């Protein structure tokens, strides 16, 4: 995987400075803070600080899986386009709706057939995509479930949290492609020390 240090543009640096001047995130654990801040930054909405639901231990496991090569799946092309440094699988173009099955739900089925268990799923548009994923025995490394909308979004995200799957979600109707991609990018950008590097340090 690409371990090259990311160069942060001065505009982004200033954006995060202003964000932290508006709301205190210093109490959050490192990965949680990274995810929450990047979601806030992507939407210019500080209310996400109390709206996002995630767990540091879950994020740490997913962070390792991501940097060790776990496949990434996006529900729509806009989510895939927002993810940097990695190519995300998105099967929406090939998907077709059917009785009781939306196009987004069918795309999830197609993607799971392609990637199998252990993937990181990034859902930022369709609640039905998240609902379909919960019906599969997908054994994901992480589900970033941040679909947006007044119909089904809150319920699908509550079902995700209730499923026990490792997840990032939010409580309200808010969400969308930009915030879902931002949550994944936070994990991509956060420094990663591979286990074999850590062992080498300890044994040095």
What is the reported pLDDT for 4? 56
Question: Rounded mean pLDDT of the chain?
Answer: 92
Q: What span, in angstroms and rounded, lies between the C-alpha atoms of 160 and 177? A: 17
CB crowding 107-122: b at 16 or more within 10 Å, else e: bbbbbbeebeeebbbb
**Catalytic residue (choose from 27, 41, 63, 106):** 41
Q: What span, in angstroms and rounded, lies between the C-alpha atoms of 49 and 146? A: 14
The pLDDT tens digits for 22-58 are 999 999 999 999 999 999 999 999 999 999 999 999 9
User: Can you read off the two tokens belonging to residue 177?
Assistant: 């492609």
- Assess whether 106 carries a catalytic annotation: no
Query: pTM value?
Result: 0.90
Burial class from Cβ neighbours inside 10 Å (0-12, 13-18, 19+) for residue 13 reads exposed
């Amino acid at each position: 995987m690409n371990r090259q240090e990311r160069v942060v543009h001065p505009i982004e640096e200033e954006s995060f400075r202003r964000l932290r001047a508006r709301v205190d995130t210093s109490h959050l654990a490192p990965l949680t803070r990274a995810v929450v801040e990047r979601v806030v930054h992507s939407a210019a909405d500080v209310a996400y600080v109390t709206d996002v639901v995630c767990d540091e231990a879950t994020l740490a496991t997913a962070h390792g899986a991501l940097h060790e090569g776990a496949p990434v799946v996006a529900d729509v092309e806009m989510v895939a386009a927002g993810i940097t440094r990695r190519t995300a699988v998105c099967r929406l173009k090939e998907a077709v709706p059917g009785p009781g099955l939306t196009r987004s739900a069918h795309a999830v089925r197609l993607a799971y057939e392609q990637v199998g268990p252990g993937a990181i799923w990034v859902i930022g548009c369709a609640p039905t995509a998240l609902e379909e994923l919960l019906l599969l025995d997908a054994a994901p490394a992480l589900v970033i479930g941040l679909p947006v909308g007044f119909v089904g979004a809150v319920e699908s995200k509550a079902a995700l949290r209730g499923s026990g799957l490792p997840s990032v979600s939010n409580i309200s109707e808010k969400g969308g492609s930009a915030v879902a991609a931002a949550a994944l990018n936070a994990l991509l950008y956060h420094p990663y020390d591979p286990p074999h590097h850590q062992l080498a340090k300890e044994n040095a």
